[in-house]
Amino acid sequence: MGFTQRPQQWGIMIRFEHVTKRYEDGTTAVDDLSFEVAEGELVTLVGPSGCGKTTTMKMVNRLIEPSEGRIFVEGEDISTTDPVQLRRRIGYVIQQVGLFPHKTVLENTATVPHLLGVKRGKARERAAELLDLVGLDPATFGDRYPEQLSGGQRQRVGVARALAADPPVLLMDEPFGAVDPVVREHLQNEFLRLQQAVRKTVLFVTHDIEEAVRLGDRMAVYGEGRIEQFDTPSTILGAPSNDYVADFVGADRGLKRLSVTPIEEGDLEQPPVLHLDDPLPAKLDARWAVVLDGENNLHGWISAEHAHSGPGTVRDHARRMEAWLPVGATLKQAFSTMLQHDAGWIAVIDKDSEGRFLGILTPARLHEALRRSTAADGRDIARGDVELETITGIGKR
């Protein structure tokens, strides 16, 4: 579809330089904020109510002007940019979505391209594509009015509309705040998939720490008017920079980190392996072996009691494997797969092939992987701390 292909250049898309906002009544909403957001990066801003998240966001599209400091978008000091021109490059999704109640879903979505001078027919065509992209069938929903949609569906129209002008930057202020947790998770998944495809630079405000962790390439944890820590979710959960951040991310941060730590090949153990057409071995030095087909793709497993010499081949005694995941899946998925299948280990396969077997993940290796993710962050945090936390999950900070 007609999105600008932006090669991943890792240029800086948004830069804040010592930005302070003081309102007329003397409230300092944000205080000396400096940070950079790379092109194609999704940064979540998370923090308690009133800490300055919306103010930060609205300064990017000049709905609010900073009192001090400078903001750059694509290298350009935005105080010198025409706000209307600027906003064309920045999609904006607000919490209450702000759909026009008297316009249909399709018209709502087509608004921006239409304003930008795209012909009506073309704008509607594009709007239909976008609705499709956010999971709303244009034939079903296009002619409805916002009041005829569920909260979650309205949020999706908001996202489609913000994407309509194909802006490089998206500002999203609690876009999924008004929907229930189940729908929210669904929208988050869809949004992640969408972001994989369109690779916008996104500032995403949320109250919800889980959402911030789940969606953010990096996250900014706000205290009052200040960013207390700006880093990857894995680092923030693994090594909060101070007590405030540790408190904010919660005592169960060890568990939360499961959901942001991927399974890597180095985490895997190599168990005994047999192939489908092998004769049964005389003896197996383990309680079971993994069974692969001729292409080394995962087939299943065989238990030691069946794997001793006798007539037939491994194929005759192998069982299908239910508990497996592709490499790159999260440790949380691994843990949940183990529980679901009541399995002591899971098989891990290559994600780009037909299922080439890479190794197995055991609970001990899962635990090591969690520790690895902290060590890789290069932070000096006591191993014992992580260990306690990941084992007990709760109760310790």
Ligand X SMILES: Nc1ncnc2c1ncn2[C@@H]1O[C@H](COP(=O)(O)OP(=O)(O)OP(=O)(O)O)[C@@H](O)[C@H]1O
> Running DSSP on this structure, what letter comes out for residue 281?
P
b/e burial code for range 379-389 (CB count within 10 A of at least 16 → b) = eeeeeeebeeb
Q: Which of residues 172-201 bind ligand X (CB under 6 A)?
A: none
Instruction: Find the shortest distance in angstroms from Cβ 173 to Mg ion.
Output: 6
**CA-angle at 324, arms to 292 and 184, nearest 5°:** 155
Is residue 51 involved in binding ligand X (CB under 6 A)? yes
Instruction: Find the shortest distance in angstroms from Cβ 374 to ligand X.
Output: 29
Which string of x and - marks every residue 235-254 that binds ligand X (by CB under 6 A)?
--------------------
Stretch that binds Mg ion, among 54-62, 242-250, 334-342, 376-384 (CB under 5 A): 54-62
Q: β-strands 227-231, 218-222: how paired?
A: antiparallel
Is residue 188 involved in binding Mg ion (CB under 5 A)? no
Structure-token pair, residue 158:
């908001």
**238 contacts 379 by C-beta, under 8 angstroms:** yes
Q: Which of residues 55-74 bind ligand X (CB under 6 A)?
A: 55
For residues 177 and 326, which CB has a smaller minimum distance to ligand X in the complex? 177
Is residue 54 involved in binding ligand X (CB under 6 A)? yes
Is residue 54 involved in binding Mg ion (CB under 5 A)? yes
For residues 24 and 352, which CB has a smaller minimum distance to ligand X in the complex? 24
**173 contacts 54 by C-beta, under 8 angstroms:** yes
Strand partners of residue 38: 12
Is residue 96 involved in binding ligand X (CB under 6 A)? no
Q: How far apart are CA 3 and CA 7, in angstroms?
A: 12
Give the residue from 366, 390, 383, 363 showing the smallest Cα distance to 267: 366
Distances in whole angstroms, Cα of residue 90 to Cα of each of 80, 123, 371: 16, 18, 39
Q: Is 35 strand, coil or helix?
A: strand
Is residue 206 involved in binding Mg ion (CB under 5 A)? no
Q: Which of residues 202-231 bind ligand X (CB under 6 A)?
A: 207
Stretch that binds ligand X, among 22-30, 73-81, 317-325, 363-371 (CB under 6 A): 22-30
Where along the sequence are the contacts to ligand X (CB under 6 A)? 23, 25, 27, 29, 49-55, 207
Where along the sequence are the contacts to Mg ion (CB under 5 A)? 54
